[in-house]
Amino acid sequence: MNRREFIRWAGVGAGALMLPLPLVGKSVSTESLLEPRLTQAQKKELADAGLNAAKAAGASYADIRIGRYLNQYVITREDKVENLVNTESFGVGIRVITNGTWGFASTYEVSKEGIAKAAQTAVAIAKANAKIQTEPVKLAPTPALGEVSWKTPIEKNAFEVPIKEKVDLLLAANAKAMENGANYVNSLLFQVNEQKYFASTDGSYIDQDVHRLWPICRVTVIDKETGTFKTRNEFSAPVGMGYEYLEGRKEGKTTTPAGAIVYGKSYDILEDAAYAALQAKEALGAKSVQAGKYDLVLDPSHLWLTIHESVGHPLELDRVLGYEANYAGTSFATLDKWQSKSFQYGSKMVNLFADKTQVGSLGAVGFDDEGVQCKRWDLVKDGVLVNYQAIRDQVHILGEAESHGCCYSQSWADVQFQRMPNVSLAAGKTPLSVAEMIKNVEKGIYIIGDGSFSIDQQRYNFQFGGQLFYEIKNGQIVGMLKDVAYQANTQEFWNACTQICDEGDYRLGGSFFDGKGQPGQVSAVSHGSATARFNGINVINTGRKI
Amino acid sequence: MPILTEAEARQILEKVVGFSKADECEANLSGGDGGNIRYARNSVSTAGSQSSLQLVVQCSFGKKLGTATINEFDTASLEKAVRRAEELARLAPENPEYVSVLGPQIYDPAQSFAEATAQITPDYRTEVARLSIEPAKKNEAAAAGFFEDRAGFSAMMNSKGTFAYNKSTGMNFTVTVRSNDGTGSGWMMRDFTDVRKFEAAQASQIALEKCLRSRKPQAIEPGKYTVILEPAASIDVLGGMFFNMGAREADEGRSFLSKKGGGTKLGEKLVDERVTLYSDPLHPELPTATWAGDGMPLKKTNWLEKGVVKNMTYTRYWAEKNGVPYVPFPSNLIMEGGTASLEDLIKSTKKGFSLPAPGISAKWTPKLYSTRASPATELFTLKMARLNFPSKTCASTKAQW
């Protein structure tokens, strides 16, 4: 953490702006979020002005992103609304290649003059940096798409739902938690709408309307006598969906063999808040785990984070190559392992894939932020490492001629770069329910929900906690445990995978604020799986006294 | 343009507050210019520049609060921002925890601006990168680094007559040098208000030397070791802890400062008596604004004094509710130094590690801290009072506070 970050997070400035999203824009009224800013024709005219200015200044390639980023936050605790925030960020980012070097500039002056000036600045920066450039940019070709558009397939635009309805829902959830024994509850609703227009000198003009949503409900139960407390986090997932996600539809619910209810494509925050209080109370009085080796049965609400950290990150090609060495880290999954075509990342039943097209996922878009059509591709096939995540200026390193389409920028003001697509574990091909899986476990722990984690800079040695832990003895769940965390390294963990439930149990989890890059940027990404079993994993007791 | 003088800022804020018909109005105006350069694999990867100027207006009717932000500064736009904040305040549910704005205050003059930093050019940034890249290349290594600088101002005014203004500058540099054989790595960080204190070549040279010395690391067994945290690592650990030092969370029983049976650990010895942690906006190495965003003066404050918890942060609401003084969040954090040098610490260590910085995967929970080595990976094992050999990545887990 440097000084600027400390001061930022220390709250110097208006409290309303101390939120974890890039709020470079202005707060706006709720109604104005629904008003269009520019027509498609106006955007094209402005984009052409920028591209022409870049070419005139000497760029051999240019792309431009005209972005309108809308956010709405509803923040509550117990019976109070702490804040309501509407923000809009509107501006233009322009990226160029000049003398084989990237240059980038952005402006909030969305006019032909403002954009042309930014284009000239980007070219000037590229020319200055070309003096010490050693590897000229090699850009993989991508077809000219002409004028195309894409929209997140939502049923109900969250921004069209009255704020009162959202406030009432969160306060009702808080009340449910309090009625069931909670001491404190914080519930929030994050809503994002990215209206992005991309154009490039390749001849693509892409208009996209992207929606994301994340309901949060954190319930805390305190035991003052022992000085301990337990916070049970929500079992919702951040999603690439509309407000329909919050309708709590029956088909979105799954009752686990432990009795806890988990959620798929629909979330019932009232039900979850009530159970959260009851489960937090139960967890406080649960048996402390005996450290040792256990077979772990991991619910998708937990496993998404392990996938994210131990598969998603190490297979980012920029990390592998060293572009993130100074900040996010590097990767144990080096190119020689991939080139061997025999590196056993996991057991033979492990198939991990990247997919920017999964419906309902956070990463789903039609086209990435450098105009490439999105797709699905394999990362680990039958346990063997077969590919990475790469964008237009990287894929030549893999001997490929086509970008994977996973380039992203958090806003118009930031330069786009390689970001993690949705990375998921394919469901098992043989029919298998969670109950059937547990039936064969002699000594195990069933984990639901994600908790704290720690993983090294090469994404190899790690430790994960969780929300709820259930002890399995001779095929039966015998009660709740606490103080559980498991430790492993990436390769031994994924090679310990012995069973994966079938497609019927496949659900998505995800991260709304995955960080990377300098200056730092966030992105949202989902990870799917069915419940999976990992044999003989080392479990520690986190409540032990050192 | 974005760095307004005190008179210019006051003129805009007076207009804004004057437009308000709300019970109370508070406005924050801030802006600045900044630039950065990022490089990796001995080549520049990205570079950019940003300018920003922003006005935040908060209006309240009773306990109903609305906030609006704008980046246009003609008179009509300023009035529009005020009206929008008032409109949101009327629509907002009442917040029982809303506290009235502060009255006029007296501030210490700040020392947070250095003209040399405000004059940094793109060519200077390119030179910083070159001073990393060329030595790395000559030594069969690759440099990855990031340099950013910013010059800006902030000002606030409220309807009770409070006005505050501050100019500040800052630069931050981090670099990782890795040996081409893939086994060595060195990291260095520099952070100054005045760029004249920054020696780019020297900083990169230290990272390079660490890289060269850390080649061919050995694996070691888990166990108990003495850990020497270099300043960047210490402040990351302490910063993580400090963000959980709120009085409200402690009073509510959900903090590492909560006590069994209720109450807090305020006044109790928490850590070793050699640990004194304080904030001081006038510290010569870390000067900051002398006021918080709500206009409250920032003064030197001891948080841990000889290991004893002396203060926790209070929001104004929590302070009023409990009848105690308001303790705002500070703008810097300093751990008092001892008398020994790093070399002395190494010499007195029989078996341990030197850790330059924790990794970004380090994560606080309200009661738990775990950390791992930095992205740079260089960990030196100290054994028998000398630097013995570099070790591979390791993790320390579950330090209970």
**A5, A12, A164, A409, best to mutate vs chain B, most B CBs in 10 Å:** A12
In a domain, B374, yes or no: yes
Model confidence at A15, pLDDT cuts 50, 70, 90, reads very low
Please indicate, yes or no, if residue B82 is contained in any of the structural domains: yes
Q: How confident is the model at residue B393 (pLDDT cuts 50, 70, 90)?
A: low
Helix axis angle for A112-130 and A40-57, nearest 10°, is 40
Q: At which of A213, A237, A260 does a domain end?
A: A213
Query: Is B202 in the same domain as B342?
Result: no
More confident residue, B150 or B182: B150
From the list A454, A518, A544, the residue facing B370 with the nearest CB is A454
Residue entry with tokens 């921004």? A159
Q: Quick check: A453 contacting B, CB < 8 Å? A: yes
Residue A233 has pLDDT above 90, yes or no: yes
Q: What is each CA distance from A48 to A51, A108, A150, A204, in whole angstroms?
A: 5, 17, 20, 11
Residue A6 banded pLDDT, cuts 50, 70, 90: low
Do A434 and A536 belong to one domain?
yes
- Least-confidence region, from A15-24, B40-49, B95-104: A15-24
Among residues B213, B241, B257, the one where a domain terminates is: B213
Query: How confident is the model at residue B342, as a pLDDT?
Result: 84
Question: Domain end: A179, A213, A247, which one?
Answer: A213
**Domain that includes residue A425, residue range:** 292-541
**Burial of residue B234 (number of CB atoms within 10 Å: 0-12, 13-18, 19+):** middle
DSSP E strand stretches across A224-351 = 228-232, 253-255, 261-263, 287-288, 292-298
Question: What integer pLDDT is reported at residue A26 of this predicted model?
Answer: 47
Residues of B in contact with A16 (CB under 8 A): 56, 58, 67
Q: Which of B181, B213, B245 is the last residue of a domain?
A: B213
Confidence band (pLDDT; 50, 70, 90) for B375? very low
Same domain, B312 and B205: no
Q: Say yes or no for a CB contact (<8 Å) between B172 and A3.
A: yes
Closest CA to A31 of B66, B16, B87: B87
CA distance A332 to A456: 10
What residues have CB less than 8 Å from A264, skipping those under 6 apart? A251, A252, A253, A254, A507, A508
Mutation to test the A interface, candidates B69, B211, B321, most A Cβ within 10 Å: B69
Q: Identify the CA nearest to A283 among candidates A227, A229, A226.
A: A229
Residue B249 within any structural domain of the chain: yes
Residue A14 above 60 pLDDT? Answer: no
CATH code of the domain covering residue A90: 3.30.2290.10
The whole-angstrom separation of Cα A460 and Cα A471 is 27
pLDDT per residue over A95-114, tens digit each?
A: 999 999 999 988 878 899 99
User: Does residue B220 form part of some domain?
Assistant: no
- Give the per-residue pLDDT at B388: 53
The answer to whether A26 faces chain B, any CB pair under 8 Å, is yes
Q: Which of B40, B185, B289 sits opposite A12 (nearest CB)?
A: B289
Asked whether residue B221 is domain-assigned, the answer is no
As a whole number of angstroms, the distance between CA A44 and CA A51 comes to: 10
A414-430 pLDDT, tens digit each:
999 999 999 999 999 99
- What percentage of chain B has pLDDT greater than the value 90? 53
Do B34 and B61 fall within a single domain?
Answer: yes
Q: A223 lies in a domain?
A: no
Give the closest residue to A346 by CA, choosing from A387, A306, A394, A385. Answer: A385
At residue B1 the predicted structure's pLDDT band, cuts being 50, 70 and 90, is: low
* pLDDT for residue A5: 58
A412-A414-A416 Cα angle (round to 5): 95
Co-location of A430 and A530 in the same domain: yes
B375/A4 CB distance under 8 A: no
A149-205 confidence digits (pLDDT tens):
999 999 999 999 988 899 999 999 999 999 999 999 999 999 999 999 999 999 999
Integer Cα distance of A49 and A183 in angstroms: 57
Q: What is the CATH number of the domain that holds B44?
A: 3.30.2290.10
Mean pLDDT (chain A, rounded): 92
A132/B332 Cβ within 8 A: no
User: CB distance A25–B69 less than 8 Å?
Assistant: yes
- What band does A12 get if pLDDT is binned at 50, 70 and 90? very low
A466 or B226, greater pLDDT: A466
d(CA B192, CA B169) in angstroms, rounded, equals 8
Mean pLDDT of A379-407: 97
The larger pLDDT score, comparing residue A149 to residue B255, is at A149
> Where a domain ends, among A186, A213, A240?
A213
Q: Please give the Cα distance from B49 to B51 (Å, whole number).
A: 7
Q: In this model, does residue B216 exceed pLDDT 90?
A: no
CA A391 – CA A333 distance, rounded (Å): 18
Report the candidate in A117, A123, A151, A98 with the shortest Cα–Cα distance to residue A46: A117
CA–CA dist B284, B280 (Å, integer): 9
Asked whether residue B1 is domain-assigned, the answer is no
Q: Specify whether A187 is located in the same domain as A328.
A: no
Same domain for A166 and A19, yes or no, is yes
Query: pLDDT by residue (tens digit) across A25-62?
Result: 444 555 566 666 789 999 999 999 999 999 999 999 99
Nearest to B95 among A81, A322, A329 (CB): A81
Cα→Cα distances A83→A10, B156, B188, Å: 18, 21, 40
Q: What is the mean pLDDT of residues A321-330?
A: 90
Residues B195 and B243 grouped into a single domain:
no
Residues of A in contact with B360 (CB under 8 A): 327-329, 457, 515
The identity of residue B221, as a single letter, is E
Cα A157 from Cα A144, distance rounded (Å): 31
pLDDT at position B392 is 57
Could you tell me if residue A254 is inside a domain? no
**Does A322 sit within 8 Å of B40, measured CB to CB?**
yes
Of chain B, the percentage scoring pLDDT greater than 70 comes to 88
Q: What is the pLDDT of residues A450-463, one digit of tens each?
A: 998 888 889 999 99
Enter the pTM of the model. Answer: 0.89
Residue among A102, A328, A546 whose CB faces B46 most closely? A102
Task: Choose between B285 and A299: higher pLDDT.
Answer: A299
Domain match, B15 and B149 both: yes
Of A131, A183, A458, which has the smallest distance from its Cβ to B393's Cβ?
A: A458
For residues B189 and B183, the answer to whether their CB atoms sit within 8 Å is no
- As a whole number, the mean pLDDT across chain B is 86
Interface touch B126/A222, C-beta < 8 Å: no
Residue A265 has pLDDT above 70, yes or no: yes
Tell whether B77 lies on the interface with A, counting CB pairs under 8 A: no
In degrees and rounded to multiples of 5, residue A95 shows phi and psi of: -125, 140
Among B46, B95, B260, the residue with its CB nearest the CB of A82 is: B95
Within a domain: A241 = no
Interface test with A, best of B43, B45, B238, B332 (most A CBs within 10 A): B45
CB-CB under 8 Å, A105 with B49: yes
- Do residues B46 and B122 share a domain? yes
At residue B84, the pLDDT reads 79
B295 and B395 both lie in a single domain = yes
Name which of A97, A44, A54 is nearest A392 in CA terms: A97
Report ipTM (2 d.p.). Answer: 0.82
Percent of chain A surpassing pLDDT 90: 80
Q: Does A293 touch chain B (CB under 8 A)?
A: no
Same domain, B166 and B55: yes
Return the pLDDT at A128. Answer: 87
Instruction: State the pLDDT at residue B242.
Output: 85
| pLDDT at res. A22 | 38
The proportion of chain A whose per-residue pLDDT surpasses 70, expressed as a percent, equals 93
Based on the structure, what is the number of domains in chain B? 2
- In angstroms, rounded to a whole number, what is the distance separating the alpha carbons of residues B375 and A69? 32
Per CB-CB distance under 8 Å, the chain B contacts of A24 are: 52
Residues B162 and B209 in one domain: yes
**Contact predicate A484/A449, CB 8 Å:** no
Interstrand relation of A443-448 and A468-473 (parallel, antiparallel or unpaired): antiparallel
Range of the domain at B310: 226-400
State how far residue B347 is from chain A, nearest Cα, in angstroms: 26
Per-residue pLDDT, B183 = 86
Could you count the other beta carbons within 10 Å of the beta carbon of residue A454? 25
Are residues A299 and A208 both part of a single domain?
no
Does residue B366 register a pLDDT over 50?
no
pLDDT band at B363 (very low <50, low <70, confident <90, very high): very low
For residue B391, the model assigns a pLDDT of 57
Residue B219 placed within a domain: no
Domain boundary residue, one of B180, B213, B246: B213
Name, of A193-202, B340-349, B375-384, the range with top average pLDDT. Answer: A193-202
- Residue A382, sorted as left (phi over 0), alpha (psi -120 to 50) or beta, turns out to be left
Q: With b meaning 16 or more CB within 10 Å and e meaning fewer, what string describes B111-141?
A: bbbbeebbebebebbbebbbbbbebbeebeb
Residue B94 inside a domain? The answer is yes
Is A209 in the same domain as A298? no
Look at residue B380 in the predicted model and tell me its pLDDT: 54
| Residue A343 confidence (pLDDT) above 60 | yes
If one counts the domains in chain A, the total is: 2
Query: What secondary structure letter does DSSP report for A397?
Result: G
Of the candidate ranges A34-43, A59-68, A121-130, B22-31, the one whose mean pLDDT is the lowest? A34-43
**Per-residue pLDDT at B144 exceeds 70:** yes
DSSP state of A308: I
Same domain assignment for residues B179 and B234: no
